[in-house]
Chains A and B, each alone.
Chain A
Amino acid sequence: MGIILFELALTFYFAAALIGLTELFKESKTTSRIAFLSTIVGFALHTVSIVHRYSTAGHLPITNPHEATSFFAWCIVLIFFVLQYRYKVSLLASFIMPIVFLLMLSSSMLSREIKLISPILQSNWLGVHTVFAFLGNAAFALAFGIGLMYLVQERYVKKKHLGSLFGRLPSLQTLDEINYRLITIGFPLLTIAIITGALWAETAWGSYWNWDPRETWSLITWFIYAIILHARLVAGWRGRRAAVLSMIGFVTILIAFFGVKLLKKGLHVFL
């Protein structure tokens, strides 16, 4: 049952991502509506699958790579909806849904077995730390997509060659502002995640900071977004530089998340 729900969600996200990509070339009201609907359906199924897994396992299903990647994707879609409700950014789905789909696809290829979890994870810190971390990362994922849209639009306007997406992409100022807004949301969430992580580490391992690779990369990520915010407030860095930095920031998140896991070192063994 859980597996079916997950696979269905994956299928609907796939449809939304596929339509999103074709819309980069040709858009119509009907296809946009179908894409948005399948995102909604996918998200609903995804939510049910997470709740189902929670009730089966008896703890928050964010304890292995399969669950974590799936939850990450879920958070991105959640923030995507909030953003669309607030700003109605056209073409956003084309830039975001492929990311969501790829995350879900990698999640689907990881082991779905529900194992007995180590005592370290049987803690209230699990929910607090991971939920904040993934919501923050999801905000940054959207900042990545918005940043990419900014770079495309900026290139058109700067090079004076108004490509096919020019008319449909939002204005530079709008994209820049949303990018900034997302980072101001993601940054405190990431900060809280790091602090709660440190507190949890203290109770679990006896020390706040152990310099394991994930901690290090998270700190790098934190610094990158801190620089973006600082440079914007003090020196007025905005536009292309902010967009590029926010994209680099998301790449460090992916390294912290997947790269570190591939090295199979460090204390964050379970994820």
Chain B
Amino acid sequence: MKILVIGLNHRIADVEVRERLAFHGGKLEEGLLRLRELPGIEEAMIISTCNRVELYAHSQDAGKAAESIKSFLAAFHQIDRAALDRSLYVYDDVDAIRHIFRVAASLDSMVVGEPQILGQLKDAFEVALSKKTTGVLLNKLLKKAISVAKRVRTETKIAENAVSVSFAAVELAKKIFTDLSKRVFMLLGAGEMAELAAKHLITNGVKDVLVSNRTYERACDLAREFNGRPVKFDEFINELVRTDIIICSTGAPHYILTKAQMQKVMRERKHRQVFIIDISVPRNIDPAINDLDNVYLYNVDDLQEVVDANMFERRKEAEKAERIIDEEVETFLRWLASLDSVPTIIALRERADEIKREELEKLFGKLQDLGPKEREAIEYMATAITNKLIHPPTAALKGDTENKEQLVAAIRRLYGIDGERDEE
């Protein structure tokens, strides 16, 4: 039996290639069903996100299966086969298992540790389940991958620190203030990054929003968008007395807030903490303001440094995650080995003998005055019954069937051989 991963991700293929190979919307189900129909493919699943397109398959002959999957991809997306071959990776067996675990745990993501991939993987698995294109092996593998991802998330700090500038701003705000929902926030100016940071602050609890802009109409528009209140640009300094968080991103070529002005503001607000994020280039807030007590001023570079440091931490945590994955791959391989038919035949026989012996002991315990002859007869009968009962499954296991793993798994479950319960 072979597990196979064929696909591409952000690292080896640029966005145009990924787009051309993507399975959008209805194409996913269509592709999935056609993939499952390919000769030699016993189970199949497709995951298609903006950063990766991967096909997972279970087949007896990996070489042939890989060939037919590649041809299928080329035909399905109408891409030149030679060009396709260059931009695909193929993993089988241990490598395939490890790859799927790493994808689920977000170790293979563009931003290592980002949480979306697990959801996307679950969705893709759901689709495969609803189309019944997966079976015992892939089901077990995907469930395991999901639980491995959860384990990585709880046992490492891989997703702990912010790795984008706007999230870093929120993270800092939370370490300056106790409760963001009681803080007043002012958006000064506009711009993509500033508005994104503003949105993050609001989703993290900030309610009281002020918006100021050189053009008052723009301020009104943004205020509506953020459910806040517009403030005239030449009056914004007056509002600073009650403002705790400021994001500044105006196009002004000079400082719009000087140290002297801020000093006055701080006296009036009794030195309550202020967090200022200056995203503008050139800077709009006098950097010397950071020297004032209880004022914390960050510009884009400062935030970027925080992000870089966090990225470094994540990479360290990723090493821990890799060790967890090694462990889990081992566990999965052990389960896979148990699907071999010979040990199952032996285990089945042992299980039957065990039951027979127990029952005989019980019976002989109750009927003390049986003679040796009768005992022999009863034992003979018990053996005959167990043999007859386990003959059909044993024969089936010895025979040559296509879905051997499924059969083995079913028999192990029906006869309670493993005693092992699934963690899910």
> Measuring CB to CB, which residues of chain A are less than 8 angstroms from any residue of chain B?
153, 157-158, 160-162, 166-167, 169-174, 176-177, 235-241
Contact = CB atoms under 8 A, between A and B. Distances in A.
Contacts of B176: 157, 171-173
Given A162-B310, A237-B271, A239-B293, 6 more contacts: A160-B305, A162-B306, A176-B273, A236-B269, A238-B272, A239-B271
A241 to B, nearest CB: 7
A240 B178 contact: no
Contacts of B267: 236
A166 B175 contact: yes
B160 A167 contact: yes
A156 to B, nearest CB: 8
Given A153-B175, A167-B161, A173-B177, A236 B309 contact: no
Given A160-B305, A172-B273, A240 B175 contact: no
Nearest to B310: A162
Contact of A177 (B175, B178, B293, B294): B178
B270 interface: yes
Interface in B142-192: 160-161, 172, 174-178
B296 interface: yes
Contacts of B293: 239-241
A90 B386 CA distance: 62
A176 to B, nearest CB: 8
B302 A236 contact: no
B178 A160 contact: no
Contacts of B302: 160
B294 A171 contact: no
Given A158-B290, A173-B177, A177-B178, A236 B296 contact: no
B272 A236 contact: yes
A167 B317 CA distance: 15
A96 B310 CA distance: 29
B56 interface: no
Given A157-B296, A167-B160, A173 B305 contact: no
B160 A240 contact: no
B273 A173 contact: yes
Contacts of A238: 270-272, 294
* Nearest 8 A/B pairs, CB to CB: A236-B270, A236-B271, A173-B178, A239-B294, A174-B178, A160-B302, A173-B177, A171-B175
B407 to A, nearest CB: 43
A170 B271 CA distance: 19
Contact of B306 (A153, A160, A240, A241): A160
Nearest to B296: A157
A237 B269 CA distance: 11
Contacts of A167: 160-161
Interface string B293-336: 11010100010011001100000000000000000000000000
A161 B308 CA distance: 11
B271 A162 contact: no
Contacts of B273: 172-173, 176, 239
A262 B310 CA distance: 49
A161 B303 CA distance: 10
Contacts of A176: 273
Interface SS, B side: mixed
Nearest to A232: B270
A153 B272 CA distance: 16
Nearest to B179: A173
A166 B305 CA distance: 15
A193 to B, nearest CB: 30
Contacts of B296: 157-158
Contacts of B306: 160, 162
A158 B294 CA distance: 9
A235 B302 CA distance: 31
A173 B172 CA distance: 12
Interface in B270-298: 270-273, 290, 293-294, 296, 298
Nearest to A153: B175
14 contacts: A153-B175, A157-B176, A167-B160, A171-B177, A173-B177, A236-B270, A236-B271, A238-B270, A238-B272, A238-B294, A239-B273, A239-B294, A240-B293, A241-B293
Nearest to A166: B175
A236 B161 CA distance: 33
A167 B313 CA distance: 12
A242 B178 CA distance: 18
B181 to A, nearest CB: 13
Contacts of B310: 162
Given A240-B293, A241-B293, A160 B298 contact: yes
Contact of B175 (A157, A235, A236, A237): A157
A169 to B, nearest CB: 8
- B172, B175, B267, B270: most-surrounded residue (chain A CB, <10 A): B175
Nearest to B160: A167
Contacts of B161: 167
A171 B178 contact: yes
Nearest to B168: A162
A241 B306 CA distance: 26
A171 B178 CA distance: 6
B309 A162 contact: yes
Contacts of A236: 267, 269-272
A214 B296 CA distance: 41
A223 B305 CA distance: 43
A261 B257 CA distance: 54
B147 to A, nearest CB: 20
A252 B294 CA distance: 26
B206 to A, nearest CB: 14
B392 to A, nearest CB: 50
Contacts of B270: 235-236, 238
Nearest to B305: A160
A31 B296 CA distance: 34
Contacts of A241: 293
Given A167-B161, A236-B272, A172 B175 contact: yes
Contacts of B290: 158
A181 B256 CA distance: 37
A240 B294 contact: yes
Contacts of A240: 293-294
Contacts of A171: 174-178
